[in-house]
Amino acid sequence: MIPLTYDFHIHTCLSPCADDDMTPANIVMMAALKGLDVIAITDHNTCRNCKAAIEIGKKNNILVLPGMELTTSEEVHVICLFAELEDAMMFDSYVYERLIKVKNKESIFGNQLVVDEDELVLEREEYLLINATTIGFSDVYNVVTAYHGVMIPAHIDKSSNSVISNLGFLPPDSRFSCVELTKLENRDLFIPNNPYLQKCRAILDSDAHNLGQISEPVHVLSASMKNATAVLIALEGLESSPT
């Protein structure tokens, strides 16, 4: 097993709430500057900036996982990570078909930019990506695993857009095995009312919307090797909490 410093929750300029300079190139270079081993690109309800980040990562020894921060019909945020870009893009299409379509107002919500490796703007997404989809939280696990991905409920200790804040509890019939926290010590606070949490592994991410927010190399995941498949296996079967 090898230790990998990570940040699995980073938004690019395709998320309207992120800075325009959160391009794939800038994100990967900042991750390299900070000394991270592996990151994930997780824009709201889309994976379309993952390809550029993956290619830039290969040139800079940064493993980049394609991912998404899905918004369920209950407005619960869920991190969805994939080993293969092809699977992520098929999931992207599935989610986009179920996105509640409202035109984006850039002056209010911000730009939604698809860019390439050279930071050339390829597309401006017209529909607001921070909207909910019609996918229910109880359906996410089956959908994500059908595309060979891993489901991780996002920032479950936050007071908004988390499974606990929006549903009131972690469903006891859940099948995910990893959750994201903003503070590791909050895990024990939620266990009395959410016993399912005892079965879950915990990760800590930045949820970065600007370059300065990307994590320092302080959170560590042990994996058999530095590749996407090994990282997803480690996330699902991690025996101890990250440091």
Report yes or no on 243 lying in a domain.
no
pLDDT (0 to 100) of residue 241: 41
What is the DSSP secondary structure assignment for residue 15, as one 8-state letter? S
Query: Please, are residues 50 and 27 in contact by the beta-carbon 8 Å criterion?
Result: no
pLDDT (0 to 100) of residue 237: 79
Report yes or no on 162 lying in a domain.
yes
CA–CA distance, 121 with 39 (Å, rounded to integer):
22
Count CB neighbours of 24 within 10 A.
27
In the chain, the number of structural domains is 1
Position of tokens 């940040």?
A: 7
pLDDT (0 to 100) of residue 58: 97
Residue ranges for the chain with pLDDT beneath 50: 238-243
Identify residue 173 by its one-letter amino acid code. D
Report yes or no on 156 lying in a domain.
yes
Residue range 26-41, pLDDT digits in tens: 999 999 999 999 999 9
Report yes or no on 8 lying in a domain.
yes
Full residue range of the structural domain in which residue 19 is found: 2-237
Tell me the β-bridge partners of 67.
42, 81
Report yes or no on 242 lying in a domain.
no
- Please report how many Cα atoms fall inside a 13 Å half-sphere around the Cα of residue 103, on the Cβ side: 2
Where residue 169 sits, what CATH number does that domain have? 3.20.20.140
Report yes or no on 117 lying in a domain.
yes
Report yes or no on 78 lying in a domain.
yes
